[in-house]
């Protein structure tokens, strides 16, 4: 699966080959979200068109209007009919033609969890699609509407977390320890209005959304997405869903909590999903670097689990084994050149600075180490 982009928004040039796991890194506003939302539009064109029409959004066959209702108000400026070029799996893509033509296939094959997922909850309950402004990005509105429907039709139990049939026990224990801190996630109904709350297991009091920690507010919409993607049945994947995209999964989370979430990402890979991540966390690339080098060394799954700081068991060994067999690609979005660079080897000794400093994610650590080493050498020289 290959996506080539020329002159789209901040992206001057990009050629991205999607592996089992693909990771995008780079500063803010360099085009990572544009790439991932474009991927959604290209894989699920008919689904996107249907959902927009269902909620009364009309782009009248005009590409500029379609870009505004899909990417967000004002985003038509990312596209230029004279210079923008998009190629998907070797096939040139004409966004103007997408805007004009109604696509017959309306199935959804890519599930996108956006960076703005915290906006999905208002007063503790997911907002409907139509509750947003017309110029808000489709990805945020669709994710929020999906959560709302799931809580109304599938996630109907009062106690949402932990649930024995939702997530494997080892994941529940890690999340309880590193995210929820012995609190449970429940549905509360004050004055008949449903809302999500946190509370102790003994039911003594509740904590509404506004007093959750920042990490809990960011994670709970992500948790509900994981619930849906990991059905508690013998079927490992959701019907038709082949891709999972998660933007900035690390937001608000402590490194130990990030480890728990990354193990769940490996579980998605084990289940057969193709996963794409965008991140500003060096911890994500540290996982990728460890996976690559352990795989090349023929290490056991237990070695990868020790990287995560968890005790091996049958479930986690299967998850780690999946991680060690999957292909991983990493791309850096460079602000200065507006180009996207393949840094998949993550070689600290590479001649390319993009790869050596992991797209900038290891720069601070490298400078700190260098200055401390230099100061120690100077101090020893004065003795």
State the Cα–Cα distance between residues 221 and 215, nearest whole angstrom: 11
Average pLDDT over residues 168-192: 92
Q: What is the total count of domains within the chain?
A: 1
At residue 86, the pLDDT reads: 97
Ranking 104-108, 238-242, 321-325 by mean pLDDT, the lowest is 104-108
Residue with tokens 């990805």: 139
Is residue 88 classed exposed, middle or buried when 0-12, 13-18 and 19+ CB atoms within 10 A define those classes? middle
Whether residue 304 lies inside any domain: the answer is yes
Taking a C-beta distance cutoff of 8 angstroms, is the pair 22, 91 a contact?
no
Whether residue 379 lies inside any domain: the answer is no
State the Cα–Cα distance between residues 287 and 337, nearest whole angstrom: 27
Neighbours of 295 (CB within 10 A): 16
Q: How many H helices and E strands in the chain?
A: 13, 15
Q: Which pair of tokens denotes residue 101?
A: 């033509």
Residue 290 pLDDT greater than 90, yes or no: yes
H or E stretch covering 304: helix 301-308
Taking a C-beta distance cutoff of 8 angstroms, is the pair 151, 283 a contact?
no
Look up the CATH number of the domain holding residue 133.
Answer: 3.40.50
Is residue 340 classed exposed, middle or buried when 0-12, 13-18 and 19+ CB atoms within 10 A define those classes? buried
More confident: 363 or 294: 294
pLDDT tens profile 82-102: 899 999 999 999 999 999 988
Task: Name the 3-class secondary structure at 24.
Answer: strand
At residue 383, the pLDDT reads: 65
Whether residue 37 lies inside any domain: the answer is yes
Q: Which domain holds residue 295?
A: 2-374
Task: Name the 3-class secondary structure at 28.
Answer: coil
Nearest to 275 by CA among 103, 22, 94, 17: 22
Taking a C-beta distance cutoff of 8 angstroms, is the pair 292, 372 a contact?
no
* Angle at CA of residue 281, ends 216 and 316, nearest 5°: 70
Task: Name the 3-class secondary structure at 77.
Answer: helix
pLDDT tens profile 214-229: 999 999 999 999 999 9
Whether residue 381 lies inside any domain: the answer is no
State the Cα–Cα distance between residues 227 and 51, nearest whole angstrom: 22
Residue 233 pLDDT greater than 80, yes or no: no
Residue 33 pLDDT greater than 80, yes or no: yes
Q: What is the DSSP letter of 103?
A: P
- Which residues, in sequence order, are bridge partners of residue 198? 185, 207
Average pLDDT over residues 305-331: 95
Average pLDDT over residues 219-243: 92
Taking a C-beta distance cutoff of 8 angstroms, is the pair 46, 117 a contact?
no
H or E stretch covering 244: strand 243-247
Whether residue 382 lies inside any domain: the answer is no
- Before 336, cis peptide (omega within 30)? no
Let me know how long the chain is: 383
Whether residue 152 lies inside any domain: the answer is yes
Residue 257 pLDDT greater than 90, yes or no: yes
Residue 106 pLDDT greater than 90, yes or no: no
Round the average pLDDT of the chain to a whole number and report it: 93
At residue 102, the pLDDT reads: 84
Whether residue 81 lies inside any domain: the answer is yes
> For residue 171, what are the contacts with CB-CB under 8 A and spacing of at least 6?
260, 263, 264, 267
State the Cα–Cα distance between residues 297 and 190, nearest whole angstrom: 56
Q: Indicate the pairing of strand 195-200 with strand 183-188.
A: antiparallel
Whether residue 20 lies inside any domain: the answer is yes
């Amino acid at each position: 699966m290959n996506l080539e982009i020329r002159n789209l928004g901040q992206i001057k040039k990009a050629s991205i080959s999607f592996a089992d796991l693909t990771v995008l890194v780079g500063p803010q506003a360099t085009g990572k979200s544009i790439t991932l939302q474009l991927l959604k539009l290209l894989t699920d064109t008919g689904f996107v068109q249907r959902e927009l029409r269902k909620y009364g959004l009309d782009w009248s066959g005009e590409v500029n209007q379609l870009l505004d209702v899909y990417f967000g108000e004002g985003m038509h400026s990312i596209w230029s009919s004279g210079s923008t070029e998009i190629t998907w799996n070797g096939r040139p893509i004409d966004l103007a033609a997408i805007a004009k033509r109604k696509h017959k296939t309306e199935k959804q094959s890519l599930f996108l969890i956006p960076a703005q997922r915290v906006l999905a909850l208002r007063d503790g309950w997911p907002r409907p699609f139509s509750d947003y402004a017309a110029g808000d990005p489709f990805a945020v509105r669709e994710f929020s509407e999906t959560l709302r429907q799931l809580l109304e039709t599938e996630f109907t139990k009062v106690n949402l977390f932990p649930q024995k049939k939702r997530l494997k026990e080892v994941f529940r224990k890690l999340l309880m320890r590193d995210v929820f801190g012995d609190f449970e996630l429940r549905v509360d109904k004050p004055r008949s209005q449903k809302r999500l709350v946190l509370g102790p297991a003994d039911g003594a009091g509740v904590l509404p959304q506004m007093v959750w920690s920042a990490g809990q507010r960011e994670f709970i919409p992500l948790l509900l997405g994981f619930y849906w993607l990991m059905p508690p049945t013998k079927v490992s994947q959701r019907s038709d869903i082949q891709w999972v995209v998660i933007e900035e999964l690390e937001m608000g989370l402590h490194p130990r909590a990030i480890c728990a979430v990354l193990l769940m990402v490996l579980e998605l890979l084990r289940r057969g999903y193709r996963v794409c991540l965008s991140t500003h966390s060096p911890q994500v690339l540290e996982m990728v670097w460890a996976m690559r080098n352990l795989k090349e060394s023929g290490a056991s799954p237990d070695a990868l689990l020790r990287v995560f700081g968890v005790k091996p068991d049958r479930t986690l060994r299967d998850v780690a084994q999946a991680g060690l067999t999957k292909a991983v690609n990493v791309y850096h979005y460079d602000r200065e050149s507006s180009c996207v660079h393949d840094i998949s080897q993550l070689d600290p000794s590479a001649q390319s600075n993009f790869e050596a400093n992991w797209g900038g994610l290891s720069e601070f650590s490298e400078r700190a180490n260098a200055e401390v080493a230099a100061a120690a050498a100077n101090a020893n020289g004065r003795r």
